Amino acid sequence: MHFLEAREVLELDLSKVSLVTLSACESGLGRVADGDEVLGFTRSFLSAGSSGLIVSLWPVSDDATKLLMSTLYGELARGTDVQLAMQRAQIAVLKASGMEHPFFWAPFDVIGDWRLTVGAKS
């Protein structure tokens, strides 16, 4: 079995990639190296050319993530910018029964171009 490593991502050309979503638990965490530079997937994807990322900062609920991602990508498909799409997705989770706590609706963060749009408005 092979796991993708940050150094492998750095070798990719992602200059035509608008948005990368890393929905696994704690995908946005990195480690601080000498010189206070944070190393990890976030830095690797941005350095490889991606315009933006969506990452999680703590372990996530499968049910909350399913609702958040389906709402988020529905909004993105309509041409909503990623910041507003994330806000709407978080509100959808917040309003779901039993998911009012920030643990459920707030683990994901948008990094990079927060004005990014990936879908076309009709």
What pLDDT shows up at residue 39? 60
Residue reference for tokens 């990195």 = 30
Residue (of 44, 56, 57) closest to 17 by Cα position: 44
Taking 70 as the threshold, does the pLDDT of residue 115 lie above it?
yes
Query: Mean pLDDT, to the nearest integer, of 21-50?
Result: 75
Stated pTM of the model: 0.85
In the three-class reduction of DSSP (H, G, I as helix; E, B as strand; rest coil), residue 115 is classed as coil
From 35-39, 49-53, 90-94, 103-107, the region with the lowest mean pLDDT = 35-39
What pLDDT shows up at residue 36? 46
